[in-house]
Structure 1
Amino acid sequence: MRALFPVTDQTASAADREWTLDELADAYAYPARGPAAAVQGAPGKPAAPWLRANMVSSLDGAAQHDGRSQPISSATDMRVFGTLRGLADAVVVGAETVRLEGYRPARAREAFAERRAAAGQGPAPAIAVVSASLNLDFSLPLFAEPLVPTLVLTGAAAPPGRIRDAERAGVEVVVAGDGAGVDPARAVAALGERGLTRLLTEGGPRTLGQFVAAGVLDELCLTLSPTMTAGDAQRIAGGPSVTAPESFRLAAVLEEAGFLFTRYLRI
């Protein structure tokens, strides 16, 4: 892996080698406050919730192949994926992605233990599932055997019986919407009120699209995979379009084996 941007004196001469997890963690550190601090790479606990997304896309814009992201990913992409989880307080994910990708609880990793302890974090990030219907199997390990209790973000009109099922399984149900769905801004605020300010969403595309439309996405970590899939696979963000395109600033680019690992910050 080598850094292509920002350009430094070492960029052209840097050896193409595997980065350590510590180096990746430094490269993806959460900002101390706001977009300006993120550009400078200042580590620390954000004063307010900071929501970053981590997605992968093929060259022709596909976010998945045959319904899953793994075919367009790589070993290094998965190391970045693990690093971003290792830095987060909570991972926000849509219910459909939980079902399709077979989500399991986040695990504690020794490589990030000291860093997390110094930041006042628990051993692993909480998983926060966005679901209007709560049509989830609460007997699965994600809900029944998490190291850190799993949360479900839902609306006030969620089926009461499913809320009781979730709570009996030890799941914390967080109401973040007045109707059947979840209000993205309220969801981010509710997590922040629980001390979960370093937020990471891994999609899916519909969930990411809702965060974008609500104007609450602060950062996009996008892996551009050197693959082509054709077909009609979904883009990284779906749902209704925004009134005006959101503008983001390029903050960093890493490269390995043709994969580009980019970071964009909302302007």
Structure 2
Amino acid sequence: MTIADIRLLHPGPASSRPLALDDLIDLLAPADRSIARVRANAVSSVDGSATVDGLSGGLGGPADLVVFDLLRRLSDVVVVGAGTARDEGYGPLVLSDDVVSWREEHDLAPHPVLALVSASLRLDPSDPIVVDAPVRPIVVTTESSPREARVRLEEVADVVTCGVDRVDPRLLVSALVARGLRQIHTEGGPSLLGDVIAADLLDEICVTVSPGLEGGGGPRIASNPESLDLRALHLDHVLLSGDMLLSKYSRRR
């Protein structure tokens, strides 16, 4: 794994050398894997947009990709909205051989499970994201999703119902934890992350601030129609790579 030049700004003192891979893992790893934890990762422009030309990829860079990969390495399950997976061109969740070896050495399953969230089940059961997955994926849906689509997907994935017309994030988290998938990592999109925040389930979020201005046309990293009270967070660390800031916040206890 190629490591970008990433330096620690906070907590101080600021590092005078790039962080090694093990340093980054120590910063991102959960303190106790036996305790269920919901984590998110997102990237934003300086002026608050989650996308450029409709995609988040244009905001990232080498350092952001390192954190993205490490968060997957450390998770039991990666949760993503089916629309986001489709728009961002997701492939099957396959880790490199060296990462698989690292996970096995740390008593983790070789690969995390991929959980796709889709209320409508507008998913192609022949899509490589499903059929080429190294671990049978999970599809999280609703009672109102089409039965025919459910039957087709059940041949290649575990289809789990978590809500009537809309996926309930509380039921989603409970279903994953019941399967032993305690380290839950979501990569969005904005509606899924907004629902997780509204349900007060988010324990930790990593946010990359990309050094650019988008102009206000793009969405935020989280979207929800409800008006919520401000949720206070604790700043765990801030990293710097070139002009890009990479931060991690956790909920205040």
| TM-score, with structure 2 as normaliser | 0.93
Q: Whole-Å Cα distance in 1 between the matches of residues 68 and 79 of structure 2?
A: 14
Q: Whole-Å Cα distance in 2 between the matches of residues 85 and 52 of structure 1?
A: 11
Following superposition, the deviation at residue 24 of structure 1 comes to: 1.7
SS of corresponding position for 2:38 = strand
Please provide the CA RMSD for this pair.
Answer: 1.4
Tell me which residue corresponds to 2:150: 163
Tell me which residue corresponds to 2:109: 122
Instruction: Tell me if 1:15 matches 2:16.
Output: yes
Tell me which residue corresponds to 1:232: 217
Tell me if structure 2 keeps the 8 A contact 1:21–1:83.
no
Instruction: Tell me if 1:206 matches 2:194.
Output: no
Q: After alignment, is 119-128 or 214-223 more displaced?
A: 119-128
Q: After alignment, is 239-248 or 59-68 more displaced?
A: 239-248
Tell me which residue corresponds to 1:131: 118
Count of residue pairs brought into register by the alignment = 247
Q: Determine which of 241, 251, 263 is the counterpart of 2:236.
A: 251
Instruction: For 1:30, give the aligned amino acid.
Output: P
Q: Deviations over 1:109-168 (max 9, x none)?
A: 234334422443221111101110100111111111110111111112221111101012
| TM-score, with structure 1 as normaliser | 0.88
Following superposition, the deviation at residue 20 of structure 1 comes to: 3.3
SS of corresponding position for 1:142 = helix
SS of corresponding position for 2:235 = strand
Instruction: Tell me if 1:172 matches 2:158.
Output: yes
Tell me if structure 1 keeps the 8 A contact 2:38–2:185.
yes
Tell me which residue corresponds to 2:46: 59
Tell me which residue corresponds to 1:37: none
Instruction: Please show how residues 46-195 of structure 1 align to structure 2 within 5 Å.
Output: 46-47=34-35, 49-168=36-155, 170-177=156-163, 179-195=164-180
Q: Whole-Å Cα distance in 2 between the matches of residues 231 and 2 of structure 1?
A: 30
Instruction: For 1:3, give the aligned amino acid.
Output: L
User: Which consecutive residues of structure 2, in runs of 5 or more, have no partner in the other structure?
Assistant: 1-5
Tell me if structure 2 keeps the 8 A contact 1:184–1:210.
yes
Tell me if structure 1 keeps the 8 A contact 2:39–2:184.
yes
Instruction: For 2:12, give the aligned amino acid.
Output: V
Q: Whole-Å Cα distance in 2 between the matches of residues 215 and 230 of structure 1?
A: 30
Q: Whole-Å Cα distance in 2 between the matches of residues 186 and 119 of structure 1?
A: 29
SS of corresponding position for 1:189 = helix
Following superposition, the deviation at residue 174 of structure 1 comes to: 1.0
Distance verdict in 2 for CA 1:227–1:190, change over 3 Å: same
Following superposition, the deviation at residue 192 of structure 1 comes to: 0.6
Following superposition, the deviation at residue 95 of structure 1 comes to: 1.3
Tell me which residue corresponds to 1:215: 200
Q: Deviations over 1:48-71 (max 9, x none)?
A: x21100000000000011111111
Tell me if structure 1 keeps the 8 A contact 2:101–2:110.
no
Following superposition, the deviation at residue 249 of structure 1 comes to: 1.0
Q: Whole-Å Cα distance in 2 between the matches of residues 233 and 2 of structure 1?
A: 29
Tell me which residue corresponds to 1:25: 25
